[in-house]
Amino acid sequence: MRTEWVTKRKNDATPTQMYYAKQGIITEEMEYIAKIEDLDPELIRSEIARGRLIIPANVKHANLEPMAIGIAVRCKINANI
Protein backbone atom coordinates (compact mmCIF):
# COMPACT_ATOMS: atom_id res chain seq x y z
CA MET A 1 0.00 0.00 0.00
CA ARG A 2 2.67 2.54 1.00
CA THR A 3 5.46 1.33 -1.31
CA GLU A 4 5.11 4.25 -3.74
CA TRP A 5 4.80 6.78 -0.91
CA VAL A 6 7.91 5.48 0.87
CA THR A 7 9.95 5.16 -2.33
CA LYS A 8 9.38 8.85 -3.21
CA ARG A 9 10.98 9.90 0.09
CA LYS A 10 13.75 7.30 0.44
CA ASN A 11 16.55 9.79 -0.30
CA ASP A 12 15.38 12.35 2.26
CA ALA A 13 17.78 12.85 5.17
CA THR A 14 15.16 12.23 7.87
CA PRO A 15 12.15 10.40 6.40
CA THR A 16 9.94 10.51 9.50
CA GLN A 17 6.38 11.74 9.83
CA MET A 18 7.52 14.06 12.65
CA TYR A 19 10.14 15.63 10.37
CA TYR A 20 7.63 16.31 7.60
CA ALA A 21 4.98 17.55 10.04
CA LYS A 22 7.40 20.06 11.59
CA GLN A 23 8.31 21.25 8.07
CA GLY A 24 4.60 21.89 7.38
CA ILE A 25 4.42 19.03 4.86
CA ILE A 26 1.33 16.80 4.77
CA THR A 27 2.40 13.31 3.66
CA GLU A 28 0.28 10.70 1.92
CA GLU A 29 0.08 8.80 5.22
CA MET A 30 -1.32 11.89 6.94
CA GLU A 31 -3.87 12.39 4.16
CA TYR A 32 -4.90 8.72 4.34
CA ILE A 33 -5.36 8.90 8.11
CA ALA A 34 -7.33 12.14 7.84
CA LYS A 35 -9.67 10.43 5.40
CA ILE A 36 -10.28 7.29 7.49
CA GLU A 37 -10.61 9.32 10.72
CA ASP A 38 -12.82 11.95 9.00
CA LEU A 39 -10.51 14.78 10.09
CA ASP A 40 -8.72 17.65 8.37
CA PRO A 41 -5.22 16.67 7.13
CA GLU A 42 -3.84 19.87 8.67
CA LEU A 43 -5.10 18.75 12.10
CA ILE A 44 -3.29 15.42 11.67
CA ARG A 45 -0.09 17.22 10.64
CA SER A 46 -0.21 19.69 13.52
CA GLU A 47 -0.91 16.98 16.11
CA ILE A 48 2.09 14.98 14.84
CA ALA A 49 4.29 18.10 14.92
CA ARG A 50 3.23 18.76 18.53
CA GLY A 51 3.97 15.17 19.53
CA ARG A 52 0.34 14.41 20.35
CA LEU A 53 -0.23 11.88 17.57
CA ILE A 54 1.90 9.13 16.04
CA ILE A 55 1.76 6.96 12.93
CA PRO A 56 3.42 3.64 13.86
CA ALA A 57 4.50 2.54 10.38
CA ASN A 58 8.20 1.92 9.78
CA VAL A 59 9.45 2.73 6.26
CA LYS A 60 10.85 -0.81 6.00
CA HIS A 61 7.31 -2.19 6.27
CA ALA A 62 5.70 -0.52 3.27
CA ASN A 63 2.74 -2.93 3.23
CA LEU A 64 1.34 -1.65 6.51
CA GLU A 65 -1.93 0.25 6.46
CA PRO A 66 -1.31 3.61 8.16
CA MET A 67 -3.21 4.33 11.36
CA ALA A 68 -2.86 6.95 14.03
CA ILE A 69 -2.69 6.87 17.80
CA GLY A 70 -3.34 10.07 19.69
CA ILE A 71 -5.78 12.37 21.41
CA ALA A 72 -7.47 13.68 18.24
CA VAL A 73 -8.28 10.27 16.72
CA ARG A 74 -10.54 7.35 17.53
CA CYS A 75 -9.51 4.93 20.25
CA LYS A 76 -7.65 1.79 19.19
CA ILE A 77 -7.69 -1.14 21.60
CA ASN A 78 -5.21 -3.99 21.53
CA ALA A 79 -5.79 -6.74 24.06
CA ASN A 80 -3.26 -9.54 24.17
CA ILE A 81 -4.34 -12.08 26.75
Q: What is the span of the domain harbouring residue 62?
A: 3-70
Has residue 47 been placed in a domain? Answer: yes
Has residue 81 been placed in a domain? Answer: no
Stretch 8-16: mean pLDDT: 78
Q: Measure the CA–CA gap between 71 and 6, rounded to whole angstroms.
A: 26
Has residue 57 been placed in a domain? Answer: yes
Q: From the CA atom positions of the chain, what is the Rg in Å?
A: 12
Full-model pTM: 0.83
Residue 27 has pLDDT above 80, yes or no: yes
Mean pLDDT of the chain: 87
Has residue 22 been placed in a domain? Answer: yes
Has residue 55 been placed in a domain? Answer: yes
Sign of the alpha-carbon dihedral angle for 55, 57, 59, 65:
negative
Stretch 14-22: mean pLDDT: 89
Q: How many domains does the chain have?
A: 1
For residues 34 and 3, the model is more confident at 34
Has residue 75 been placed in a domain? Answer: no
- pLDDT of 81 reads 67
